[in-house]
Amino acid sequence: MRVDAPRQPILLFRFHTDPEVARERLRLIRHFDPDLRRYVLFSGDRAHADAAHAATAGLADGFWCFDDERRDRQWLWRHGDLVLKAWHRAVGKYLEFDHLYYHEYDLLVAASMRSAFAPAAESAVHVGALRELTPDIYDYCHWTSGRERTNFHRFEERMHRRFGTARQKYVCIAPGMRLPKAFLDAYGDEEDIEFVNDEVRIPAYAEALGFTLTAHLMNPGFGDVGSELRYFNCGNDGHPDMSDVVDVLTSRTDRRWFHPVKYLVTLEDLPESVRESR
């Protein structure tokens, strides 16, 4: 297996379906970040792993299949960080890199990865829509309210026993993370706790393990963020169609990131001015 040069970032691209979409998304990433090492994590049906591998051939430095048939689609959606931990335990910890971009296949980025992340310390854990867990957010966030609240309290109790932490301070919204290898090494050594999802666990463990947290630039955030939800959302607010993407890319310079985009987008579909702006 190819090992990266020290102090260089890498990208882990995760998908579970639509290999043609995944292949074109990797082409986009390669176009805007030709020097960025790319690794593939396939979390779909084991029977489709060979086809997934073939579809991404030539576009990645490594391919790994999450091979746990006990996990259904709901579990995989809820626990993306635990799938990442499994990859890191098997592959990532043996690679040399400073930080990792965790990239889901339905995230469309029409720019260099570094443009989506504000300058911060190398030790910072970058997540989407980082918010302090105020009483309002506590009642608003799906994973800390309603039927999930009991599970959240169980998680807090476990974290208190393990780290002595009091009430959790932050939550976030996936997707898109930039994680230091030091964090992944430490997090990979911790027990997998399934009471909550990654949008609760990652901020909790970052804080408990002594890492700073910062928000990336892609996700407009919690609550009422106006029209930006049309272009980037993680709930039931629809998805940007190709006309939305092209309109934003040709009329604005402050948004190059869209979610969810589960349909095929090729490099050639992007405006020429954007393709040439890398």
Q: What DSSP string describes 133-164? A: --HHHHHHSGGGSGGGHHHHHHHHHHHHHHH-
Q: Which residues are CB-contacts of 144 (< 8 A; sequence separation ≥ 6)? A: 133, 137, 138, 152, 171, 200
Model-wide pTM > 0.85: yes
Which of 1.20.120, 3.90.550, 1.20.1260, 3.90.1720 is the CATH number of 10-129+172-194+211-266?
A: 3.90.550
Three-state SS at 194: coil
Identify whether 6 is preceded by a cis peptide bond (ω within 30 of 0).
no
pLDDT tens-digit map of 190-238: 999 999 999 999 999 999 999 999 999 998 877 666 788 889 988 766 7
* Residue 10 contacts residue 38 (beta carbons within 8 Å): yes
**pLDDT at residue 120 in the model:** 86
**pLDDT at residue 49 in the model:** 95
List the structure tokens of 277: 């702006």
**pLDDT at residue 4 in the model:** 46
List the structure tokens of 118: 């504000």
The DSSP call for residue 259 is: B
pLDDT tens-digit map of 247-274: 999 999 999 999 999 999 999 999 999 9
Single out the residue of 27, 11, 39, 29 nearest to residue 112, CA to CA.
Answer: 29
List the structure tokens of 86: 């499994």
Kindly give the parts of the chain with pLDDT less than 70: 1-6, 223-225, 236-237
